[in-house]
């Protein structure tokens, strides 16, 4: 069974840092592109960025709103995806989801339950 479990969400002050984790199981993690998607309270979905698969050297891409502040990475040995968030702003407050790209498609077929990041003083 495919499972994605996010962790690391917390209350952090503006300008602070946080690292989110997504533990993957039930599939061959290295074969899949993985995305981070966020949702501000009561708002819609916003793509944050992605890590391509091993065959594409785990290349990452990010949205302009987080570029230079957020970094996506993976640990093969842990089957985990990470989102390092620096210089956090109040507008980064959201539930952060990790999601798997459906193989050969690109749409997200499995999502974690999300982890809440609150940026506030």
Query: In 3-state terms, the chain is what percent helix, strand and coil (to 5)?
Result: 5, 50, 45
3-class state of residue 77 by DSSP = coil
Least CB distance to other proteins at residue 105 (A): 5
**Stretch 72-111: interaction string toward other proteins, x if CB under 8 A:** -------------------------x-x-xx--xxxxx-x
Q: Is 10 in the site for other proteins (CB under 8 A)?
A: no
Total residues in contact with other proteins, by rule CB under 8 A? 22
CA distances from 51 to 36, 54, 71, 82, 91 (A): 9, 9, 10, 10, 23
Report yes or no: 92 and 9 within 8 Å, Cβ to Cβ: no
One of 17, 90, 113, 120 touching other proteins (CB under 8 A): 113
Per CB under 8 A, contacts with other proteins among 35-64 are 35, 44-47, 50, 61, 63-64
């Amino acid at each position: 069974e495919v499972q994605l479990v996010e962790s690391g969400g917390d209350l952090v002050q503006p300008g602070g840092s946080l690292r989110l984790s997504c533990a993957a199981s039930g599939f061959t993690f290295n074969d899949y592109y993985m995305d981070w998607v966020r949702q501000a309270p009561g708002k819609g979905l916003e793509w944050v960025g992605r890590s391509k698969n091993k065959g594409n050297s785990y290349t990452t891409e990010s949205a302009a709103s987080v570029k230079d502040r957020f970094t996506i990475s993976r640990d093969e040995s842990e089957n985990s995806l990470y989102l390092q968030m620096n210089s956090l702003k109040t507008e980064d407050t959201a539930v952060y989801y990790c999601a798997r790209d459906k193989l050969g498609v690109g749409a997200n077929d499995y999502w974690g339950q999300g982890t809440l990041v609150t940026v506030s003083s």
